[in-house]
Amino acid sequence: MEIYRPGRVDAKLLKDVLGEFNLAPENEILMLPHGDVIARECRHLYFWGAVDEKTQKMGICLAQNEDIPKTRIISVGRCNAACPYCKRDCQFITGDGVPIAAVPVSLLDIAAICEGAVARNEIPRFSGGDPVMYHKQVLALAKYLFKRHGVRSSIAHNGSASAWVTQMIPYLSSAAIDLKAVPEKIGEIMGVGSRGPVMYQRSLDTQHSLSSAGVFLDVRTPVFGDTSIEEMFRLAGDIIRVNSLSHTFWTWRLYKPVMGCEFQVPDRDIVVGMMKEISVSCPNLWMGLRAKWVSGGMLFVRNGEGGNNG
């Protein structure tokens, strides 16, 4: 399996840092390839635009905006949730819907991927699956990057592990944390059944830890056809209650049809209307609608106003 444009690793430092966690460079974790390449995927931190005055005035963040940081996605191949609409069995699928199995990759190779990303001025972002499944490995790699370059990484996490996230905080510049639904629905959305309310509270605890530490926080919520404005108002209330809004963003993600799932597809215009109505009542909370994954951008809304990226 090919890995994407690796860089040069400080072998001694990596060995020393991994040793603090009883790990070794040759240890492996499962990774999700993008196509047939590990870590080929790169994404912009669209929510970062909420702190940029030019972007705020535009009300929209586009992928072509070079001021928006890029992240190199380091996707692990295990997860502690089972969202039915997510990557099946922690696997990517091709455009034809054919699953691509997760593959073992050494920590040395992952460090090399991160080194290449840093050299290209990209932020390594540990995603998944979910990075908590390799909590020691991800913590060690993030610490290595900080000690080697002074670089802080990013994570995309389902919010279930506030204690681990607290350990990660010194090595993070940003974090995307899921808050997938109101307590009575989140168990179905995450595929965790009766554990849903516990997952909901854990997400709030995780958000609060990050926000209190000044880490730029992106709270992510999928929106379905039957998601009501009352439900989103409830989520907004909890996000505002536990976080510092000066560095908190709320991303709404439109559900797109997945074979085998019975979730309803939302109407984009209705969702935008809901977002603007909530924004009027929550004027200090930056919100965004993320609907395009390849070359699109994000619609920003604050105080009931925003742009439109078509």
Q: How many residues does the chain have?
A: 310
Rg (CA), the chain: 19
Q: Distance between CA 263 and CA 283 in Å, rounded?
A: 30
Domain count, the chain: 1
Sole residue written with tokens 């108002």: 233
Q: What is the structure's pLDDT at 58?
A: 38
With a cut of 50, list the residues of the chain below it in pLDDT.
54-64, 293-295, 308-310
Return the closest-CA partner of residue 137 out of 150, 129, 310.
Answer: 129
Q: Strands of 33-34's sheet, edge to edge?
A: 2-3, 37-38, 33-34
Give me the CATH number covering residue 68: 3.20.20.70
Check: CB of residue 172 under 8 Å from CB of residue 210.
yes
Q: Distance between CA 290 and CA 48 in Å, rounded?
A: 13
Check: CB of residue 140 under 8 Å from CB of residue 21.
yes
In the DSSP assignment, the letter for residue 87 is S
Q: Distance between CA 98 and CA 91 in Å, rounded?
A: 10
Q: Which residues are bridge partners to 154 per DSSP?
A: 125, 174
Q: What is the structure's pLDDT at 305?
A: 72
Q: What is the structure's pLDDT at 301?
A: 80
Q: What is the structure's pLDDT at 172?
A: 97
Q: What is the structure's pLDDT at 84?
A: 87
In the DSSP assignment, the letter for residue 181 is S
Q: The domain containing residue 187 runs over which residues?
A: 2-306
Express each pLDDT in 179-214 by its tens digit: 999 999 999 999 999 999 999 999 999 999 999 999
Check: CB of residue 175 under 8 Å from CB of residue 203.
no
**Segment (H or E) for 31:** strand 28-31
- Neighbouring residues of 34: CB distance < 8 A, sequence distance ≥ 6: 40, 41, 73, 75, 92
Q: What is the structure's pLDDT at 278?
A: 95
Q: What is the structure's pLDDT at 262?
A: 87
Q: What is the structure's pLDDT at 45?
A: 84
Neighbours of 19 (CB within 10 A): 12
Find the DSSP H helices in the chain.
Answer: 11-19, 53-58, 107-119, 135-149, 162-168, 183-190, 196-212, 229-242, 268-281
